[in-house]
Every structure is written in structure tokens, then in C-alpha cells.
Amino acid sequence: LAVLAVPGYMTPTDFLSFTGPFSDSIEHVRVIRDSSPNHYMILLKFRSLAKADEFYAYYNGKTFSPLEPETCHVVYISEVQCETWEVRSEDIDKENQLTELPTCPVCLERLDSAVSGLLTTLCQHIFHCRCLARWGDGNCPVCRYSQTSAFGIRMSGTSAMESGKAPEDGNTSEQSRCHICERTNDLWICLICGTIGCGRYANGHAKDHFGQTQHPYSMELESQSVWDYAGDGYVHRLMQNMADRKVIALDTQAIRRNARSMWQRAPPSRGSFMDAREKLDAVTQEYEMLLVSQLESQREHYEMQLARMHHQQAQQIKKYAELERKYEDHKSEHLAALETKLKLNEEEHKEWMAERKRLETNANKWLKKSTDDAKRLMEEKAIAKQFADNQTALNKRIAELEANSVDLQEQIRDLTFFISTQKSLAAEQNADSELHGASV
């Protein structure tokens, strides 16, 4: 894998701390400088493809620091082509195929990638990852090459070329400006966030930055001395040599020797010599007292910080133990509640299954009964239809019979009338002999 656009303020040691969870899975780390003035890239070789996939899924898109906006861009690399000539392994020792591994400059052990992860810095020196992580310094342990200072020089040179001015070696104050008033002299840079502001004897923007952000340490770009706004004094008397950019201590004995040589070249009068000597001794004594007081205040400050850190660590450990205990209690309570709920659910499930079985039985009974009722209903409908047909036929028969009875009644009436007429005629014949033998 390759990590692109790693910010220049991030040293290889910081990157190893950033990728700490995968330190055992990384076989080799190589730092490569690209064309960007304030970024570089890192090649990572893993022991297995699965770990590389886990690294890509975990770090791709993740920010390097919660306080910075830069994100980690991880890409897959299919192959690496080297333009420089390298010795092939088969040309080293063709007889026994053995080669002696180089040693780590820190621990003097063999640089074996199969045992421990390796890291190659920008200056092409190789170290164990664990050794460089314990080194704790941004400089190379062999050549004292500073990655952050190199990136700072490249950034300042780039800004100077953009402004149309040629940068001068070691003179960063002419290439920097106050972020508010754009003042070019008496500049101080915040050692926490890198904001540049003018001193308190100019417009005081550096001190205003401390009041806004509470960043206490600020360094003067011209003298490279560090001021502590919280303690209202210099943090140390270390100076940076502009020739090789190494941090050195201010030598008071050299100042005295230079003063004596100057006096020897231009011998002053005895009175002025005594006055100058007394002034020099007074300045030296004042400086020594100031240095002792500053060192004592720094010792007290760091002891207080160390005690505070120990106290915070103890509090964090206690808090972690309390949280772990609460978690275990909550976990046991939650598991017990889940088990109880599971048992209740199982019993309720059994009851519901029994109820379901009973309902299914009742439903089957009612279904059978409804089927029988439907059959009986169909039979009754058929019988009712047959009864209705019979009733219709009977009604028709009754109507016919009634019609016949009416005819019979008329015939009977006629017959009755005839009989009664015959009787009447017979009686009259008997009564009246004149009608005897007549017919009607």
C-alpha cells in the first residue's frame, strides 16, 4: 500500500504511532519524497494481504490528527520500479546463497524484515520500527537529518519564489509575515499551531494569539528563543546554529573570551576597563541567576505537570476500573434479564402453541359441522323444492276439481230441478185428469 500526501509536520515516529495497531503486520516502511513542498508519501509492505485490506479499510479517509484537517489517503500499489541500479540477490553469493544482513544503528541487531518491521527514512537510513519509535526525535539517529526542518525550508523557499523574492539561507523572518498586520520584523511563531504574529513591542499580535488560544509557547524567528506567556519568561537559553541548524547552548565563557580579545585589541583606560569588567561581571551574574531561576521554574513546572499526569492517570485507571465493574454488573444483570425473558417467552410460546392446537381442532370440528349443515341444507332445499312442485300440482288439481265440482253442482241442480219438476207434474197429473197423458 501507499499513503499519499502525508503532511510534512508528521515525522516517521509520529506515523509509526499513528499506525500502531498494525505494527506487527507491517514488514517494511519506506519514506519517499515527492514533488509536493510540504507533503511526502510512505510505502508499506505487509506480511499478508488480509492485513493490508484491514489497514486500507481502517485508515483510508481517517484524519491524521483531531486538530488538523488532513486525511489519510491509502491506495493499492501493484508494483514498484526503481530507477537506480540495485544488486540482485543471485549475484551476491552464488556459491552458498548467503548474505549478511545490515545492522540497526540504534540497537545494533540484524535488520531482518521477517522478525521485525523496518523503516527507511528520507535520508535512506534503515531502522527497526520499534527502535525509531523509541527514539522520540524527529531527526535521523545517524546523520541528524531533520525531516520537519527540510520541509520548513522548502515551504519558505516556495513562498519566497511565489512572492518574487529569492530566499536567503537562515533568514526566515524576511520570508515570513504577521498573519494580521503583515509585519516582516520582530516576528514570533506559535510552537503549538504555527501561527506567526508580531511581538509585543510592535503590534502585539503574537500575545493576542496567546490570549485567544491559550497556546503558551512562542519562538522568535530571528533569535530562535522560546518565550512562555504563562510563566512570563524564557523557557530555555538554547540557541540554533544557523550554519548547520543544530540546537546549541549559549556559552557565557565564549562571550567573556570575545570580550577580553576585543579589549586586548583596543586597550581601554584603567577606569573604563574596571567599569566594563564590573558591568560584565554584573551581567554574567544576573544571567546566571536568571538561568538558574528559569531552570528551577522549569523543573517545578515539569514536576507539577508530571504529578498532574500521574494523578490523571490514576484517576483514569480508577475510572476505567469503575466503568469495567459497572459494565460487568450491567452485563450480568442484562444477561439474567434476557434469560428470564427468554424462559417467559418459551413458556408463552408453549401456551400459544397449545392454544393454537386447540383452536385448530375446534376449527376442524366447526368446518366438518358446517360441511354437514351445508349438505343437509342442500337436501332440505331439494325437498322444499319438491314440496313446492307438489303443492303447485295439487293446487292445479284442486282448481280442476273445483271446476268439476261447479259443473257437477250445476248438473245436480238441473237434475234436482228436473226431478222436482217431474214430481210436480206427476202430482198435477194425478190431480188433474186433463193433463193425463200429456208430455212436456
List the single range of 119-128, 216-225, 369-378 with lowest mean pLDDT. Answer: 119-128
Cell of 422: 217431474
Query: Quick one: pLDDT at residue 159?
Result: 42
- Give the Å distances, CA to CA, from 282 to 195, 270, 285, 288, 290: 37, 18, 5, 10, 12
Query: Quick one: pLDDT at residue 266?
Result: 52
Return the C-alpha torsion angle 144, 148, 152, 154, nearest 10.
70
**pLDDT tens digits for range 64-101:** 887 778 889 999 988 887 765 544 444 444 445 556 67
**pLDDT tens digits for range 342-370:** 999 999 999 999 999 999 999 999 999 99
Query: Quick one: pLDDT at residue 84?
Result: 56
Q: Any idea what DSSP says for residue 110?
A: B
Work out the percent of the chain whose per-residue pLDDT is above 70: 73
Which backbone phi and psi does 111 adopt, to 5 degrees?
Answer: -90, 80
The DSSP bridge pattern shows strands 73-75 and 2-7 to be antiparallel
Query: Quick one: pLDDT at residue 165?
Result: 41
Work out the percent of the chain whose per-residue pLDDT is above 90: 18
Query: Quick one: pLDDT at residue 55?
Result: 92
Pick the closest to residue 107 from 97, 98, 115, 95 (CA basis): 115
- Which of 58-62, 192-196, 280-284 is modeled with the greatest confidence? 58-62
Query: Quick one: pLDDT at residue 360?
Result: 92
- Can you say how many angstroms the Cα of residue 101 is from the centroid of all Cα atoms in its chain? 41
Assess whether pLDDT exceeds 50 at residue 155.
Answer: no
Indicate the pLDDT class of residue 431, thresholds 50, 70 and 90. Answer: low
CATH class of 2-81+102-146: alpha beta
- Segment 417-429 mean pLDDT: 82
CB atoms within 10 A of CB 40: 22
Report the run of H or E that residue 189 belongs to, with start and end: strand 187-190
- Can you say how many angstroms the Cα of residue 48 is from the centroid of all Cα atoms in its chain? 24
Query: Quick one: pLDDT at residue 357?
Result: 92
Which backbone phi and psi does 38 adopt, to 5 degrees?
Answer: -130, 25
List the single range of 20-34, 142-156, 333-347 with lowest mean pLDDT. Answer: 142-156
Query: Quick one: pLDDT at residue 424?
Result: 82
Pick the closest to residue 106 from 89, 80, 121, 126 (CA basis): 126
**Does residue 219 sit in helix, strand or coil?**
strand
Every domain of the chain with CATH number 3.30.70.330 lies at 2-81+102-146
Assess whether pLDDT exceeds 60 at residue 156.
Answer: no
- Round the average pLDDT of the chain to a whole number and report it: 76
**pLDDT tens digits for range 298-343:** 788 888 888 889 999 999 999 999 999 999 999 999 999 999 999 9
CATH code for residues 151-156+166-280:
3.30.40.10
Q: Any idea what DSSP says for residue 234?
A: E
Assess whether pLDDT exceeds 90 at residue 132.
Answer: no
Tell whether the torsion through CA atoms of 351, 355, 357 and 358 is positive or negative.
Answer: positive
Every domain of the chain with CATH number 3.30.40.10 lies at 151-156+166-280
